[in-house]
A and B are shown apart, each in its own frame.
Chain A
Amino acid sequence: MSAFLDHLPEFWQGLIVTLQLTAASFAGAAVVGLLIAAMRVSPVPVLRGIGTAYVETLQNLPLLVLLVLAVFGLPEIGLQAGLQVTATVVIALYEGAYIAEALRSGVNAVASGQGEAARALGLTFGQSLRHVVLPQALRTVIQPIGNIFIALTMNTSLAAAVGVVELTAAANRVNLLEAQPIPIFVGAGLAYAVVAACAGLVTGRLERRLAVVR
């Protein structure tokens, strides 16, 4: 255990980077997911097609492949950014596809009469989505989106493979010095578990607070 406690500053630094990656890429994924979900349920066939292509492409490629491709491929075509920024963007784009699918299932769960009533009142497609359909859809997908948040938190550890020194990379570095994998990785694992447990608490609360009387 001392191997873990002796290196708390390194772990702490790694955890902060993990939290930064998680927060920034989740925010990005939420925006991307909202846009793609809106495209996938829109009445315009071209937009639906683009949305579907996006989801199919990003869900069918491993995140690690995308990370490696972005980190080593983008500089080849002249796009250079910091490792952490690149990783954040890639994770946001990847998880955005999952959020889009969760939102779409929520939209499909809203009774079709709700959208019809909104349109019958003269609301445009965008307005009925924004004021009527999405607020109800979001309530039904709080739990799945919480799960995506947790998965995203765990997925940030893949950034270690492309040189971002987040929690997993920090643990790995400490282990190279101390060679005591069990306390070191159990400690790192516990830190991830705490983040995930917090996410679970928040989603449970949100779900109860926003429940719709039917």
Chain B
Amino acid sequence: MIRVQGLNKWFGEHHVLRDIDLHVAQGEVVVVIGPSGSGKSTLCRCLNRLESAGSGEILIDGVPAPVEGRELARLRADVGMVFQSFNLFQHKTVLDNVMLAPMKVRGLSRAEAEKTARDLLARVGIAEQAGKMPGQLSGGQQQRAAIARALAMRPKVMLFDEPTSALDPEMVGEVLDVMVQLAADGMTMVVVTHEMGFARRAADRVVFMDDGQIVEMAEPNAFFESPTTDRARSFLAKVLTH
């Protein structure tokens, strides 16, 4: 579904992604973990070209990701993205947030879009919040609304860029539950996160990144029980002792 080959990226002098090769199969859930500044968010943002790649190739569903313009917009319509800071449209109700893109990009009628939107909001457990503005919702509710908004485009792939990092601890669970359910339903997902529990529970594969490189890639059990590299071992020792 996603194939990344020889991806490199620089921010000025800073080499943030080094020779990334990654293949995500249809229906697979890949969790990307690693220390801050390791390039995992940048990798995630490169996949739908919110960041341009320096060099290398990104194929989505066998098609090279277009560089700009309408083709790029079309690609992004098929790739859902959930952000750390939710990024719900502040001037629109939750329902309108979910309906906007299906109407403007897919050309759905208002009635169709509203039906899909209400179904999705019910699916993520916030049906009764549909008429509220984003600012009136809790962080967990906002993030679930953002997931519903992305799902409304019926994406082939979902990208999650640290979806729970901006949440109060008691709200992390409600968002992860939605993601676990989504994974169980067979969605292809790339999830950048610090939630090791989620990685164990829902991942088909864990990718460990450090210093812009993929250091280790393994099934969750193998990775958490017996990491093969020193860097992964020391990272896990630090995050799992608490």
Q: Which residues of A contact B (CB under 8 A)?
A: 43, 111, 113-114, 116-124, 127, 131-132, 135-136, 139, 212-214
Contact mask B104-138 → A, CB, 8 Å, 1/0?
11000000000000000000000000000111100
Given the known A-B contacts A116-B50, A120-B76, A124-B73, are A214 and B105 also in contact in the complex, defined by CB atoms under 8 Å?
Answer: no
Given the complex, which residues of A lie within 8 Å of B105, measured CB to CB?
A: 121-123, 127
Given the complex, which residues of A lie within 8 Å of B76, measured CB to CB?
A: 119-122
Residue among A117, A121, A135, A136 with max Cβ neighbours from chain B (10 Å): A121
Q: Which residues of B contact A (CB under 8 A)?
A: 48, 50, 68, 70, 73-81, 83, 85, 87-91, 100-101, 104-105, 133-136, 146, 149-150, 153
- Does the CB pair A122–B83 fall under 8 Å? no
- Does the CB pair B48–A120 fall under 8 Å? yes
Given the known A-B contacts A116-B50, A135-B91, are A121 and B133 also in contact in the complex, defined by CB atoms under 8 Å?
Answer: no
Nearest opposing residue in chain A for B45, CB measure: A116
Kindly list the 10 A-B residue pairs having the minimum CB-CB distance in the complex, ordered from nearest: A122-B77, A213-B135, A117-B87, A121-B101, A113-B87, A120-B81, A122-B105, A122-B76, A213-B133, A124-B73
- Does the CB pair A123–B104 fall under 8 Å? yes
A205: shortest Cβ distance to chain B, in Å? 18
16 new A-B pairs (CB below 8 Å) besides A117-B87, A120-B80, A136-B90? A111-B87, A117-B88, A118-B101, A119-B73, A120-B150, A121-B100, A121-B101, A121-B150, A122-B78, A122-B101, A122-B105, A127-B104, A127-B105, A135-B91, A212-B133, A214-B90
- Does the CB pair A114–B50 fall under 8 Å? no
In the complex, what distance in Å separates the CA atom of A114 from the CA atom of B90? 8
Given the known A-B contacts A117-B83, A123-B105, are A214 and B48 also in contact in the complex, defined by CB atoms under 8 Å?
Answer: no
Given the complex, which residues of A lie within 8 Å of B80, measured CB to CB?
A: 120
In the complex, what distance in Å separates the CA atom of A212 from the CA atom of B103? 23
Residue among A114, A119, A122, A135 with max Cβ neighbours from chain B (10 Å): A122
In the complex, what distance in Å separates the CA atom of A118 from the CA atom of B81? 10
- Does the CB pair B135–A212 fall under 8 Å? yes
In the complex, what distance in Å separates the CA atom of A114 from the CA atom of B86? 9
A121: shortest Cβ distance to chain B, in Å? 4
Nearest opposing residue in chain B for A117, CB measure: B87
B153 touches which of A121, A139, A214 (Cβ 8 Å): A121
Given the complex, which residues of A lie within 8 Å of B136, measured CB to CB?
A: 213
Nearest opposing residue in chain A for B103, CB measure: A131
Given the known A-B contacts A122-B77, A124-B70, A213-B133, are A132 and B85 also in contact in the complex, defined by CB atoms under 8 Å?
Answer: no
In the complex, what distance in Å separates the CA atom of A135 from the CA atom of B97? 14
In the complex, what distance in Å separates the CA atom of A54 from the CA atom of B72? 30
- Does the CB pair B50–A120 fall under 8 Å? yes
Given the known A-B contacts A116-B50, A213-B133, A213-B136, are A123 and B73 also in contact in the complex, defined by CB atoms under 8 Å?
Answer: yes
In the complex, what distance in Å separates the CA atom of A212 from the CA atom of B149? 20
In the complex, what distance in Å separates the CA atom of A135 from the CA atom of B153? 22
Nearest opposing residue in chain B for A127, CB measure: B104
In the complex, what distance in Å separates the CA atom of A117 from the CA atom of B89? 8
Given the complex, which residues of A lie within 8 Å of B85, measured CB to CB?
A: 111, 113
Nearest opposing residue in chain A for B69, CB measure: A124
- Does the CB pair A122–B73 fall under 8 Å? yes
A42: shortest Cβ distance to chain B, in Å? 12
Given the known A-B contacts A114-B87, A212-B135, are A119 and B50 also in contact in the complex, defined by CB atoms under 8 Å?
Answer: yes
B163: shortest Cβ distance to chain A, in Å? 13
Residue among B79, B100, B146 with max Cβ neighbours from chain A (10 Å): B100
Residue among B50, B89, B135, B153 with max Cβ neighbours from chain A (10 Å): B89
